[in-house]
Amino acid sequence: MWFKELVLRVVGGTWEFLVICALCVYYCMETVLLTITPSFLRWQKSLKGKRIVITGGAGGVGQELALQLGRLQAKVVVWDTNERAVEALRLRFYNEGMELQSYIVDVTDRHSVYKHANLVKSDLGPVDILINNAGIVTGRTFLDIPDDMVEKTFQVNVISHYWTIKAFLSDMLKRGKGHVVSVGSLTGMLGTYKCTDYSATKYALHGLHESLLTELKTHGYDNIHLTLVSPFFINTGMFAGCKPRTLSMLEPKNVATRIITAIRREETFLTMPASYRFIIPIKFYVPSKLCWAVMYRVIQGPQSMMGLVGRQDTTAA
């Protein structure tokens, strides 16, 4: 009886309680049906002709995203700081008979971001999809991370998202449609050895994603979609020296393919591997000492990160 009274007090009355129950059943059934439906039978929106900006798009996952989106006949725009990598990507596009718009942009410089965003709009028109992919990792223990690298990691991995999203979101709001993709990490759900700076930025990204989603939903912008991607370590060189015990590193091509599928399905959260979306929250329901025992003795997470050397360019997340 007390539980029912508590629920009614929280949801605001009997009618609201019934509505919540109905929505709970509906959305759970919808999720189950989507889960068991074969991929080729599920709806996916077309990306043909869509104007898509990818930060850190000249290497790693960003490069794979650019190539695969180009093959889907999207209008791809790459932002990166690595001129040689950008030129190499432009050549690959040319060899495949595709066009690529590219700009040398430091996403930590908000003035440069706003300037180049205006150039993109002038050259191509309003942007349909923004993919925030740029990222760096230092790969050092807490006291060994130089102060300037702490600042840079936050600037690249999370603060830059404020500048890029601000640069394009206003037009999306005016048009009533758009899509913002943020490439995070499983380390934004579970703290990791030698990643006190990197992991913190990915946790922050999770908060940014959910809070912005709340604002958009509250004001009725249901056709502006957000997708937060939280993958395991990716074999791009960023985590060179890392030797995971329980899982193999993900390959950039496969990660890019799955991200594009998530965009086309308008998924809000994408965790790779998918099972970790359900496994990681278990840490909140078991003793912390047990979590540590499993992490250290079974998964051997810290041991697998001992050899991590990191990488400080911004061509992959």
Tokens of 62: 């960003």
Rounded-to-integer distance, Cα 295 and Cα 314, Å = 29
Secondary structure E strands in the chain: 51-55, 75-80, 100-104, 129-132, 135-137, 178-183, 224-231, 269-272, 311-316
* Residue written as token pair 């725009």: 77
Cβ proximity of 60 and 234 under 8 Å: yes
Catalytic status, residue 296 = no
Tell me the two tokens of residue 312: 């400080």
Annotated catalytic residue within 114, 162, 193, 198:
198
Give the CA-trace dihedral at 10, 15, 21, 27, to 10 degrees.
-100
Q: Which residue has the tokens 């930590």?
A: 108
Q: H/E/C letters for each residue in 66-123? A: HHHHHHCCCEEEEEECCHHHHHHHHHHHHHCCCCEEEEECCCCCHHHHHHHHHHHHHH
Pair 281, 102: CB distance under 8 Å: no
| CA distances from residue 257 to 96, 189, 194, 226, 260 in whole angstroms, order as listed | 18, 22, 29, 17, 5
60-71 and 83-95 helices, crossing angle to 10°: 30
Residue 219, helix vs strand vs coil: coil
Secondary structure class of 128 (helix, strand, coil) = coil
**Catalytic residue list:** 198
